[in-house]
Chains A and B, each alone.
Chain A
Amino acid sequence: MNALDAALAHLGSLDELAARGTPMARIDARTKVVVTVAYVAVVASFGRHELTRLAPLALFPAAVAALGDVPLRPLLLRLAIASPFALGVAALEPLLDRAPAALVGGVAIPAGWIAFASILARYALSLGAALLLVATTGFDQVATALRRLGAPRALVVQLLFTWRYLFVLVGEAARMVRARELRAHGRPLRVGVAAQLVGVLLLRAMERAQRVHAAMVCRGFTGTFPPRGRTRLAAPDAAFAAGWLAFFAAARALDLPALLGAALFGGAR
């Protein structure tokens, strides 16, 4: 199983997760998109040395994963392999920022380590929220929600079409790569051959696009798509949005962990 087969399986499984009738799936897609975007913005708004205040925000992805019945292991696995750039930059923090910033039980912790942890935390929370959005909503619903929230029509149509043909083309690519591997006798894939492969993929893609176009015009397509069904917002959507947005605001404005600590240990800080 090569990388393409794995990617195909991942795409399919995330999409399938969203198709089940979980409580999260019943919330309107627009609500979920707006709340997720707000969440990501709030997480990003914390400074580089704020780590403890990020903790309460982990509640959101945890709750969404729970309500959406999303298995956590594949999600965490996906996060772990996703972004070498961010993690690489994060790893430099302890080297760059060596001033001691906090004292925990008598040990001085350099600010760089806090920044490192903070970046990791932001990464996990933000990107996890993005994955959870699709795992509980389904890509085509997210695209429709974007349209109704004001995204340009051409872009949304583009998203839907890309999504539709993703599986077909990744499947074609997977088969070609696999076929080559079986005749390669261990030799790695070099640039020249890869370019040939990709070139053939492109040719086939363009021919397919012509066929799709023929099929579309034969059924009356003249350049615009008929509007899709409308769903209305309901009480659960409002409650979901109001509740979480209030929580995000509170987490941003107040130092919840400190308050909690003070409440528990009731004393000088």
Chain B
Amino acid sequence: MSHHLVAVDALRYVYPDGTPALDGVTFAIHHGESVALVGANGAGKSTLLLHLAGVLFPREGRVRVGDWPVTRETLPQVRRSLGIVFQDPDDQLFMPTVEEDVAFGPASLGLPPDEIEARVAAALARVGAEGLRRRPPHRLSGGEKRAVAIAAVLASSPDVLVMDEPSSNLDPAARRALIEQLRRFEHTKIVASHDLDLVLDVCERTIVLAGGRVAADGPTREVLDDAPLLARCRLERPLRLQACPRCGPGARPA
């Protein structure tokens, strides 16, 4: 019985138009870990996440989620274990009302109506969106949409929660609320984000992706303090660390 919950092994992928996207990515994530995936635009973060959910399949290499290798045949099981929240909530909230959207996952699993209702109520409560039940998605604010999208994924009770740029387009209050929620989730989390301060707050481990490869993989504090590494990967230290007194006032990234 593997202790790894998500394992990626020598993953290579090329886009249909020929651009290489991922060039031998390997890592393993354990149960309960909270891992950040950071990297420049185009480094391959979103593509990697799509492989975890079985939306894309590798040219070479393997992906495992829980007990299952990710193949076309095992997709139903994979998708029960791993839930992914996409970057644009509008792509994700496709039902006419919030409660129907949150119910979509459990209903698709074939659960009985009272179980569905219980899951919907619990998921909405987790993200603080109970009052939005009957609203149509197009009338929600950015933060509300994000919260509902997360609830919609939580309702299927996945073991692993994957999120692509969760704090983008959120105002500071909504962003703070999101960070607090994420800290409270006991799921295994994989968060792709440019928001390095959120990463510091939420994830104890960070993987840096550059040019389709893993450039670093270690404790967040260490990885995000390595200014030269970050600069090579078109990143910077989180703002909080840049103002850190230990690194000298006004110290700028190398």
Contact = CB atoms under 8 A, between A and B. Distances in A.
Q: Name B's interface SS.
A: helix
Contacts of A19: 134
Contacts of B156: 219-220
A221 B108 contact: yes
Given A164-B138, A211-B86, A219 B79 contact: yes
A168 interface: yes
Interface residues of A, number: 28
B139 interface: yes
Interface string A152-177: 00000000110111111000000000
A164 B94 contact: yes
A59 interface: no
Interface string B193-210: 000000000000000000
A95 interface: no
B33 interface: no
B38 to A, nearest CB: 22
B86 A214 contact: yes
A160 B92 contact: no
B55 A218 contact: yes
Given A12-B139, A211-B91, A226-B107, A218 B97 contact: no
Contacts, number: 76
A78 interface: no
A217 B92 CA distance: 10
B244 interface: no
Contacts of B75: 217
A19 to B, nearest CB: 8
Given A220-B156, A221-B108, A214 B96 contact: no
A160 B96 contact: yes
A140 B108 contact: no
B165 to A, nearest CB: 13
Given A160-B96, A211-B91, A228-B100, A220 B76 contact: yes
B92 A215 contact: yes
Given A163-B96, A164-B96, A215 B91 contact: yes
Residue of A208, A221, A226 contacting most chain B CB atoms (<10 Å): A226
Nearest to A139: B96
A225 to B, nearest CB: 8
Contacts of B13: none
A161 B88 contact: no
A261 B139 CA distance: 50
A15 interface: yes
A161 B55 contact: no
Contacts of A226: 103-104, 107-108
Interface string B110-150: 00000000000000000000000010111100000000000
A222 interface: yes
A216 interface: yes
Residue of B96, B152, B153 contacting most chain A CB atoms (<10 Å): B96
A220 B95 contact: no
A212 B109 contact: no
26 contacts: A15-B136, A16-B139, A140-B136, A160-B96, A161-B94, A164-B94, A165-B90, A168-B138, A208-B90, A211-B86, A211-B91, A212-B92, A214-B50, A215-B92, A215-B94, A216-B94, A218-B53, A218-B83, A219-B105, A219-B108, A219-B153, A219-B156, A220-B104, A221-B104, A222-B108, A228-B100
Interface of A: 12, 15-16, 19, 140, 143, 160-161, 163-168, 208, 211-212, 214-222, 226, 228
Given A12-B138, A220-B105, 16 more contacts: A15-B136, A140-B136, A143-B96, A164-B138, A166-B138, A208-B88, A211-B91, A214-B53, A215-B92, A217-B75, A217-B79, A218-B83, A219-B79, A219-B104, A220-B76, A226-B108
Interface of B: 50, 53, 55, 75-76, 79-80, 83-84, 86, 88, 90-92, 94-97, 100, 103-105, 107-109, 134, 136-139, 152-153, 156
